[in-house]
Structure 1
Amino acid sequence: MASTDYKFEGWLGHDPSSVKGNMKWGEFEPKKWDEDDVDIKISHCGVCGSDTHTLSSGWGPTPYPCCVGHEIVGKAVRVGKNVKSVKVGDRVGVGAQADSCGTCADCKNGNEPHCFNGVNTYGSLYKAPKERKSMGGYATYNRTPSRFVVKIPDGLDSASAAPMLCGGITVYSPLKANGAGPGKRVGIVGVGGLGHFAVLFAKALGADEVVGISRKKTKEPEVLNLGADRYIATDDDKDWDKNNARSLDLIICTASSAKMPMDGYLKLLAVGGTLIQVGAPDGGELPPINAFTLIFGGIKVGGSAIGTPREIEEMLKLAEEKKIHPWIEKRSMKEANQTILDLEAGKPRYRYVLCNEE
Structure 2
Amino acid sequence: MPPPTPSPKFQGWLGLDKSAAEGNMVWQQFPNPKTWQETDVEIEITHCGICGSDIHTLRSGWGPTPYPVCVGHEIVGKATRVGSKATKGLKVGDRVGVGAQNSSCLRPDCEDCASGLENHCVRSVNTFADKYPDGSQSYGGYADYHRCPSHFVFKIPEAIASEDAAPMLCGGITVYSPLRENGCGPGKKVGIIGVGGLGHFGILFAKALGADRVVGISRRGDKKQDVLAMGADAYIATEEEKNWHKTHARSLDLIICTVSSPKMPLSRYLSLLRTKGTFIQVGAPEDKLPEMSAFHFISKGVKIGGSMIGSPGEIEEMLQLAAEKGIKPWIMRYPMREANKAVVDFEKGVPRYRICLVNEGNVEKQRLGS
Q: State the TM-score, normalized to the length of structure 1.
A: 0.98
1:194 positional shift: 0.1
What SS class does the counterpart of residue 215 from structure 2 fall into? strand
1:3 positional shift: 4.3
What SS class does the counterpart of residue 174 from structure 1 fall into? helix
The counterpart of 1:42, out of the listed 31, 45, 56, is 45
Question: What is the number of equivalent residue pairs in this alignment?
Answer: 355
1:78 and 2:71 are equivalent in the alignment = no
Q: Which runs of 5+ in 2 are unaligned?
A: 365-370
What SS class does the counterpart of residue 35 from structure 1 fall into? coil
The counterpart of 1:58, out of the listed 52, 61, 64, is 61
Q: Which residue matches 2:255?
A: 251
Q: Which residue matches 1:94?
A: 98
Equivalents in 2 of 1:303, 1:20: separation in Å?
Answer: 30
1:218 positional shift: 1.7
CA contact (8 A) 1:46 1:72 kept: yes
Q: Which residue matches 1:201?
A: 205
What SS class does the counterpart of residue 4 from structure 1 fall into? coil
Instruction: After superposition, give the CA deviation of every residue in 1:230-265 in whole Å (9 maximum; x if it has no partner).
Output: 001111100000000000000000001100000000
Equivalents in 1 of 2:4, 2:228: separation in Å?
Answer: 50
1:354 and 2:357 are equivalent in the alignment = yes
Q: Which residue matches 1:26?
A: 28
The counterpart of 1:337, out of the listed 321, 332, 340, is 340
1:141 and 2:180 are equivalent in the alignment = no
1:289 positional shift: 2.3
Q: Which residue matches 1:13?
A: 15
Q: Do the aligned partners of residues 172 and 4 (structure 1) sit closer, same or farther apart at CA in structure 2, a change above 3 Å counting? A: same
Note the aligned Cα RMSD (angstroms).
Answer: 1.0
Equivalents in 2 of 1:218, 1:326: separation in Å?
Answer: 19
Counterpart AA for 1:33 = W
% identical aligned pairs? 62
The counterpart of 2:233, out of the listed 214, 229, 232, is 229
Moved more, 218-227 or 346-355: 218-227
Equivalents in 2 of 1:288, 1:176: separation in Å?
Answer: 28
Instruction: After superposition, give the CA deviation of every residue in 1:23-65 in whole Å (9 maximum; x if it has no partner).
Output: 0001114200010000000000000000000000001111110
1:84 positional shift: 3.5
CA contact (8 A) 2:87 2:151 kept: no
Equivalents in 2 of 1:143, 1:159: separation in Å?
Answer: 20
Equivalents in 2 of 1:347, 1:276: separation in Å?
Answer: 26
Equivalents in 2 of 1:193, 1:291: separation in Å?
Answer: 31
Equivalents in 2 of 1:147, 1:32: separation in Å?
Answer: 16
Q: State the TM-score, normalized to the length of structure 2.
A: 0.94
Instruction: After superposition, give the CA deviation of every residue in 1:176-217 in whole Å (9 maximum; x if it has no partner).
Output: 000000000000000000000000000000000000000001
Equivalents in 2 of 1:318, 1:5: separation in Å?
Answer: 35
CA contact (8 A) 1:8 1:141 kept: yes
CA contact (8 A) 1:43 1:74 kept: yes
What SS class does the counterpart of residue 211 from structure 1 fall into? strand
- Aligned pairs (5 A) from 1:275-290: 275-283=279-287, 285-290=288-293
CA contact (8 A) 1:2 1:78 kept: no
Q: Do the aligned partners of residues 11 and 315 (structure 1) sit closer, same or farther apart at CA in structure 2, a change above 3 Å counting? A: same
CA contact (8 A) 2:39 2:85 kept: yes
1:221 positional shift: 1.1
The counterpart of 2:180, out of the listed 158, 176, 183, is 176
Moved more, 148-157 or 5-14: 5-14
Equivalents in 2 of 1:143, 1:337: separation in Å?
Answer: 23
The counterpart of 1:123, out of the listed 125, 129, 136, is 129
- Which 4+ residue blocks in structure 1 deviate beyond 3 angstroms? none
CA contact (8 A) 1:191 1:213 kept: yes
CA contact (8 A) 1:39 1:144 kept: yes
Equivalents in 2 of 1:248, 1:5: separation in Å?
Answer: 52
Q: Which residue matches 2:367?
A: none
CA contact (8 A) 1:38 1:77 kept: yes
Equivalents in 1 of 2:264, 2:8: separation in Å?
Answer: 47
Counterpart AA for 1:112 = E
Counterpart AA for 1:65 = P
Counterpart AA for 2:299 = F
1:4 positional shift: 2.7
CA contact (8 A) 1:30 1:142 kept: no
